[in-house]
Amino acid sequence: MENNTKNLSLSVVGGTASTDTPAERGRAGQAENVKFGREFREKWFMFDKGWVPLNHGSFGTHPHPIHTHRFSLLHAAESSPDAFFYVQQAPALRSSRHVLASLLEVPASDVVLVPNATTGVNTVLRNLKYAKGDKIAYFGTVYGAVEKTVWSVAETTEARPLRIPLEVPAKMADAAGGVAGAESEEARRNGASHDSIVAAFEATVLREREKGNKVKVLIFDTITSMPGLRMPFEALTAKCRDLGVLSLIDGAHGVGQIPLHLATLQPDFLVSNLHKWLFVPRGCAVLYVPVRNQGRIRTTFPTSHAFRGLAEGAPDGSGPLLPEDGEADPRDVGYFVEMFGFVGTLDVTNYLCVGEAIKFREEVCGGEEVIQGYLAKLAREGGDRVAQVLGTECMGDEKGSMRDGVAMVNVRLPLQYDQLSVEVAGNMGALHWMQRRMIHDMGTWIPIFWHAGCLWARFSAQIYLDVADFEWGAERLRGLCGRVVKDEHLQSGRSNL
């Protein structure tokens, strides 16, 4: 049993611990002449031959060595379930947390694993204490489930939602010379920028103070979902600190897509999916809470065995797991880590693949710097090529800050608002028709969404893609837009929507 436990723990981190940084290990282990793109996709990933994966940002995926590793863990769990859950799982989970903490440059005692970013946001918001006049602020580009969480919290606490408007309007007329969308010329002139976003937040805080209210916490993204744009999260974190507002970073698209140096950034809370951009099997996310704020997190959601009630007579926080052999790791002693070590019976084999994912990225791909550099370059070049094919534009601010280092790109579709009937625009019928045609007829999926009065498509760059894949997607979109202009989406009937 001891040997099995040891081997499981070490296999999770991909070998013995190294004192090198992840970037140094990546450069040292980079495969010579590694070539990303279609050949890389066919060699390392498990997509169907006829599927072109242009939407990595929604659900992510992982290469087959990590898939194989996870199934070896599932086999271990089913071969001897009691040994796996009572004895082997805890040290393996700790190993995953330690290698992740090294990547993020923070103590392992500040990071725990949760199923997804939405769970992490819920955990933070539902643990905070609120008084009358407290506001939970967020921007108009917030992820939908996060905004609904804020409103849900408002139903059972004194907190109230505070939405800060944010749109990134189109910059140019369409190819036919008409106005691209329905937004005003004033919105075009005053398009969002990183500076204006930070200024809008500060003005909101000061305005609420004049009303006798308090912005308790600001939720903001590293990179927003749709549209996929970089937020000034570094500047917003610093401004929160200056204004006495708690910073909650929704980094769902952070880890694996852009560098995150949390020891320098020092947010109050951060969550980030690992199954999107780090190649960890879904669903898996990191919740970072520095020690200064861990006292605010009283319980997991759902509450489980390690919870320690404060009221007299509350049961103790002992759980079902056996204590590990030997002395406890001093980096892992604390109520915060203990709570998240066992949150009911769950399949956490995906959590135990973090080390294997990072190992693949270092040894096969060349490390984070190489991967992220390729993604940013492909998103920019591929996005510009899509815009050229469609005769439109890529979304962004004048300085280019919102596209800086981002692996997703948003391209406006060549459809005017008046080309879509009021009925169709209202029920998003054309949008849904186009996306169903992609799935059923074309073997791909490109998210399409409304923003600032226009329809946009979001492409995701990844190491298994190249510019030719973006061009392929652009030609399909151009064809679909032509069919919408001819009202084909209205003629085909509801059964085809």
Q: Looking at residue 230, what is its pLDDT?
A: 95
The model's confidence at residue 209, banded by pLDDT at 50, 70 and 90, is very high
Q: What is the mean pLDDT of residues 11-25?
A: 40
The model's confidence at residue 270, banded by pLDDT at 50, 70 and 90, is very high
Q: What is the mean pLDDT of residues 450-458?
A: 90
SS3 annotation, the chain: CHHHHHHHHHHHHCCCCCCCCHHHHHHHHCCCCCCCCHHHHHHHCCCCCCCECCCHHHHCCCCHHHHHHHHHHHHHHHHCHHHHHHHHHHHHHHHHHHHHHHHHCCCHHHEEEECCHHHHHHHHHCCCCCCCCEEEEEECCCCHHHHHHHHHHHHHCCCEEEEECCCCCCCCCCCCCCCCCCCCHHHHHCCCCHHHHHHHHHHHHHHHHHCCCEEEEEEEECECCCCCCECCHHHHHHHHHHHCCEEEEECCCCECCECCCHHHHCCCEEEEECCCCCCCCCCCEEEECCHHHHHHCCCCCCCCCCCCCCCCCCCCCCCCCCCCCCCCCHHHCCHHHHHHCCCCCCCCCCHHHHHHHHHHHHHCCCCHHHHHHHHHHHHHHHHHHHHHHHCCCECCCCCCHHHCCCCEEEEECCCCHHHCCHHHHHHCHHHHHHHHHHHHHHCECCCEEEECCEEEEEEECCCCCCHHHHHHHHHHHHHHHHHHHCCHHHHCCHHHC
Q: Looking at residue 330, what is its pLDDT?
A: 59
Q: Looking at residue 5, what is its pLDDT?
A: 37
Q: Looking at residue 192, what is its pLDDT?
A: 79
Q: Write b or e for each residue in 44-74: b if 16 or more Cβ atoms lie within 10 A of its Cβ, otherwise e.
A: bbeeeeeebbbbbbeebbbbebbbebbeebe
Amino acid identity of 255?
V
Asked if the model's pLDDT at residue 56 lies above 90, the reply is yes
Asked if the model's pLDDT at residue 28 lies above 50, the reply is no
Q: Looking at residue 238, what is its pLDDT?
A: 98
Q: Looking at residue 459, what is its pLDDT?
A: 98
Asked if the model's pLDDT at residue 463 lies above 90, the reply is yes
Q: What is the mean pLDDT of residues 173-189?
A: 37
Q: Looking at residue 473, what is its pLDDT?
A: 97
The model's confidence at residue 326, banded by pLDDT at 50, 70 and 90, is low
Q: Looking at residue 433, what is its pLDDT?
A: 86
Residue bearing the bigger pLDDT, 487 or 360? 360
The model's confidence at residue 143, banded by pLDDT at 50, 70 and 90, is very high
User: Which of 181-195, 207-221, 268-282 comes out lowest in average pLDDT?
Assistant: 181-195
Q: Looking at residue 328, what is its pLDDT?
A: 58
Query: Of all residues in the chain, what percent carry a pLDDT higher than 90?
Result: 70
Q: Looking at residue 18, what is its pLDDT?
A: 43
Asked if the model's pLDDT at residue 3 lies above 70, the reply is no
Q: What is the mean pLDDT of residues 468-495?
A: 84
Asked if the model's pLDDT at residue 416 lies above 70, the reply is yes
CA nearest 353: which of 294, 423, 274?
274
User: Which of 60-64, 106-110, 118-122, 343-347 comes out lowest in average pLDDT?
Assistant: 343-347
Calculate the average pLDDT of the chain. Answer: 86
Residues 163 and 141: their CA atoms lie apart, in Å, by 10
The model's confidence at residue 360, banded by pLDDT at 50, 70 and 90, is very high
Asked if the model's pLDDT at residue 42 lies above 50, the reply is yes
Asked if the model's pLDDT at residue 410 lies above 60, the reply is yes
The model's confidence at residue 80, banded by pLDDT at 50, 70 and 90, is very high
